[in-house]
Structure 1
Amino acid sequence: MIVFQTKNHADVSMFDHVALKLIGLMGHSGSVPGALTEEEVEQASSKLSEAVLNPSAQSGDSWDDDSVSLAHRAQPLLDLLDAAKRGHNHVIWEKSLR
């Protein structure tokens, strides 16, 4: 599990393969732990939003046969990124110790 954190929003936990896909769609390498500075949050949010709303922009694994859409999986992270934007906060992600 990978956990995303920012101030003023509940932590978001995701399975590794989903989190790494979304991190890549935000324009970052798959390195864990990782972070977005306050200045990077808006751009990462825009990239992720565009990628999940425009499936042709996605690269890598096919999500066609998945019972849960990529847009649905990304929504909690998009909400966290929006909270970080509004609060002018950074975002971090790391492996869960649980």
Structure 2
Amino acid sequence: MLVRFDSKVGTFSMFEKDARHMIKLMGHSDTIPGAILGTEIEKTLQTFQTGLTEAAKQENQHLAPKQHEDEEETVSVNRRAYPVLELLKKAAKQKETVMWDFDDKLV
């Protein structure tokens, strides 16, 4: 299932498992649907950046180097978080609300 993040400043979808992780990093329960009011965006952005830094540190401690060339490379938490981070930054500049819900349109 996909989760769609939506705001007046942008929209994107990501897989539910990753979306729930990002929502938790924002300091929210992983409840879907959910929202962050424009008045809370700055605080949420700061919480997300702090949580992302900690998650990246933990990931780097547990990251094993590839043993074989044919192994798939894992996608880092920083790379997965990029669209969320950019959406929060844009929403913070304009004090816009960010919402998320299941994206049934693409399934």
TM-score (norm 1): 0.84
CA 1:18–1:64 in structure 2 vs 1: closer, same or farther (change >3 Å)? farther
- Match in the other structure for 1:37: 37
**Pairing of 1:12-91 with structure 2 (within 5 A):** 12-55=12-55, 64=63, 67-91=74-98
Shift of 1:33: 0.6
Q: Percent identity?
A: 31
Q: How much does 1:3 deviate?
A: 0.6
Cα displacement (A) at 1:97: 1.2
Instruction: List alignment gaps of at least 5 residues for structure 2.
Output: 65-72
Choose from 80, 85, 100 the match for 1:93.
100
- 1:21 and 1:97 map into 2 onto residues whose CA distance is 20
Counterparts of 1:25 and 1:90 in 2: how far apart (Å)? 17
Query: Which one has the bigger helix percentage?
Result: 2
- CA–CA distance in structure 2, aligned partners of residues 57 and 64 of structure 1: 10
Q: CA deviation at 1:73?
A: 0.5
Point out the structure with max Rg over C-alpha.
2
Cα deviation, 1:31-88, whole Å, max 9, x if unaligned, reads 1110001121111111111122233776xxxx74670000110011110011111111
Q: Do the aligned partners of residues 89 and 16 (structure 1) sit closer, same or farther apart at CA in structure 2, a change above 3 Å counting?
A: same
Q: TM-score, normalised by structure 2?
A: 0.78
Q: Which residue of 1 aligns with 2:67?
A: none
Alignment check: 8 A CA contact 2:5 2:100 kept: yes
Q: Residue 8 of structure 1: CA displacement? A: 2.3
- Counterpart in the other structure of 2:9: 8
RMSD of Structure 2 on Structure 1 (CA): 2.2
3-state DSSP class of the match of 1:89? coil
> Equivalent residue for 2:68?
none
- Distance across 2 between alignment mates of 1:56 and 1:83: 22
